A and B are shown apart, each in its own frame.
Chain A
């Protein structure tokens, strides 16, 4: 984990998994948290898109 990351992703895994009733084997916690860190970085890129309030989801996507 990056010490500069303000999020305690291990704690997030514990809390979120308890909230949805998804038990995580203690042996897998660190790897799951590492995947969330990677996803958070990519989601951060997605977050840089300047969406307007009227930009709707592509729920039924038609190219």
Chain B
């Protein structure tokens, strides 16, 4: 072993808990077989040693983490219930408010903002479940990208191959979990920003139904399309984190008044009785062999022989593109006026163009959203669950501008979201599921999509695929 691989091995996590799931850790902490402070210290030490290689973290919250862990241990010592995520270290995309530090959202501009005065709702709820926040994670500036090639904080590297992108915009969230530094993380998804990095880093990711989880205290990008959700190395961990964050929240106007509908208890129900189909039409557009093979393998494992078209998915994607550019541009108009030079050059000109766009384009896109919704929902008369490609290819090298898929040359960065964008536009729940690959092969995922509010079905199918060995998210071995 020489060169970069030797460096990589020297920086692999050494914590005995690095390969444990969140469920394993919480069980051990609850049973007194491990102490939260011991798990947390090991995670923090691993992050300090390993992060320079992948550049996933932009901040460590060591003091806070040790205090939260000590609180959990004290609860256990008193014989009380410490919560379903007791002592589990996790980290969040740096657009979530963390009390006491400025919320960067991947930007240089927000460094000048005062520290957040309170935690984001999701962070508060995870703390209530016993989880321990260890840090904040890199992302595309203001979440406007699919690659986490951040010009201010550097690119996040894919833990499976350090020369390649981790995906984005929740790239740090994916890299940190894939590298074994924490068992789960939080990301956000406006057009695919949880699912794209989950696919490229080989993780499970959940983008819930639009309005399911509170976004309060998460820096906005496109309010009409923004979602939050977890990334993890197992379906059970995804469900644990998701369940802990559910529930109405009056401080997010989009958060639905729905009761908590736990998914963790549903994971063992398998796929009996589910009508599962493969998404056709827009979702059969050009893709690389590995993406097609991933869909084929999952479809075969699930006995999904039927192909169904999601009506209007393509025009929905077009409307999402327009809404994103314009709402994003208008959100940042005040800073674009006075300090355009402080924006990441990778997003600046798109934001400026969005801020100048005719009002008609945005109005039409918003009206088309309802039109598309009304037609697309008919697909669930034919099936309960849809299988679709997630990214059109596995992780490209950092700096890739163009890709060619089945002879069609296209811009690489926007087209990483080719298949994810229509699903977030529709607001449907979707799990990114990593297809098990041979060691040394780059990971890739598929999307498991269900009707609004049926996250349980996405997670049931994901858990089934995991159980039968078709899906897996082992800790990455860097090369």
Knowing A56-B370, A63-B428, say if A22 contacts B452 (CB, 8 Å).
Answer: no
Min distance, Cβ A25 to any Cβ of chain B, angstroms:
7
Contacts of A60 in B (CB 8 A): 253-254
Selected from A25, A32, A39, A59, the residue in CB contact (under 8 A) with B322 is A39
Q: Which residue of A lies closest to B428 (CB)?
A: A63
**Least Cβ distance of A13 to chain B in Å?**
6
A55 to chain B, nearest CB (A): 5
Interface residues of B in 356-372 (CB under 8 A from A): 356-357, 361, 363-372
Contact A25 B340 (CB under 8 A): yes
Q: How far is the CA of A58 from the CA of B321 in the complex (A)?
A: 16
Q: Are B322 and A28 in contact (CB under 8 A)?
A: no
B364 to A43, Cβ gap below 8 A?
yes
Query: Is B210 in the interface zone, CB < 8 Å from A?
Result: yes
**Which chain A positions have C-beta within 8 A of B314?**
45
Given A46-B318, A49-B315, A63-B427; A39-B367 close (CB under 8 Å): no
**A28-B352 contact given A43-B322, A60-B254, A63-B428, CB 8 Å threshold:** yes
Q: How far is the CA of A24 from the CA of B352 in the complex (A)?
A: 8
B321 in contact with A57 (CB, 8 Å): no
**Chain A proximity of B208: nearest CB distance (Å):** 11
Contact B371 A49 (CB under 8 A): yes
Residues of B within 8 A of A58 (CB): 224, 366-367, 369-370, 373
Name the interface residues of A42-56: CB closer than 8 Å to any CB of B.
42-43, 45-49, 51, 55-56
What band does the interface of chain B fall in when counting residues whose beta carbon is under 8 Å from A? 35 or more
> Max chain A CB contacts within 10 Å: which of B322, B352, B368, B427?
B352
Write the B20-32 contact mask toward A (1 if CB under 8 angstroms, else 0): 0000000000000
> Is there a chain A Cβ closer than 8 Å to B136's Cβ?
no
Contact assessment for A46 and B353 in the assembled complex, using a CB-CB cutoff below 8 Å: no
Residues of B within 8 A of A23 (CB): 337, 340
B contact face: mostly helix, strand, loop, or mixed: helix
Chain B residues whose C-beta falls within 8 Å of the C-beta of A31 in the assembled complex = 349
Contact status B349-A57, CB under 8 Å: no
Task: Give B375's nearest chain A residue, CB to CB.
Answer: A49
Residues of B within 8 A of A16 (CB): 356
Q: Does B379 contact A (CB under 8 A)?
A: no
Residue of A nearest to B364 (CB): A46
**Bound state CA distance, A24 and B363, in angstroms?**
25
- In whole angstroms, what is the CA distance A36 to B349 when docked? 9
Q: Which of B352, B366, B426, B453 contacts A35 (CB 8 A)?
A: B352
Residues in chain B near residue A55, CB distance under 8 A:
367, 370-371
B349-A32 in contact (CB<8A): yes
B355's partner among A22, A25, A28, A51 (CB-CB below 8 A) is: A22
Instruction: From B352, B366, B372, give the contact of A57 (CB < 8 A).
Output: B366
Task: Indicate whether A21 reaches chain B with its CB closer than 8 angstroms.
Answer: yes
The chain B residue sitting closest to A59, CB to CB, is: B366
Report A-chain residues with C-beta under 8 Å of the C-beta of B357: 36, 39, 43
**Is A22 a contact partner of B209 (Cβ separation < 8 A)?**
no
A28's nearest neighbour on chain B, judged by CB, is: B349
| 18 A-B interface contacts by CB (under 8 A) | A16-B356, A22-B333, A22-B352, A22-B355, A23-B337, A39-B321, A39-B353, A39-B354, A42-B321, A55-B367, A58-B367, A58-B369, A58-B373, A61-B210, A61-B373, A61-B427, A63-B373, A63-B452
Supplied contacts A13-B356, A61-B254, 19 more A-B pairs, CB within 8 Å: A17-B352, A22-B333, A28-B349, A32-B349, A35-B349, A35-B350, A39-B353, A45-B315, A46-B318, A47-B364, A48-B315, A49-B312, A49-B364, A51-B367, A51-B368, A58-B224, A61-B369, A61-B373, A63-B373
**Nearest 9 interchain pairs by C-beta:** A35-B353, A63-B427, A57-B366, A63-B452, A45-B318, A58-B369, A31-B349, A43-B361, A16-B356
Interface residues in chain A, defined as those with a beta carbon under 8 Å from any beta carbon in chain B: 12-13, 16-17, 20-25, 28, 31-36, 39, 42-43, 45-49, 51, 55-63
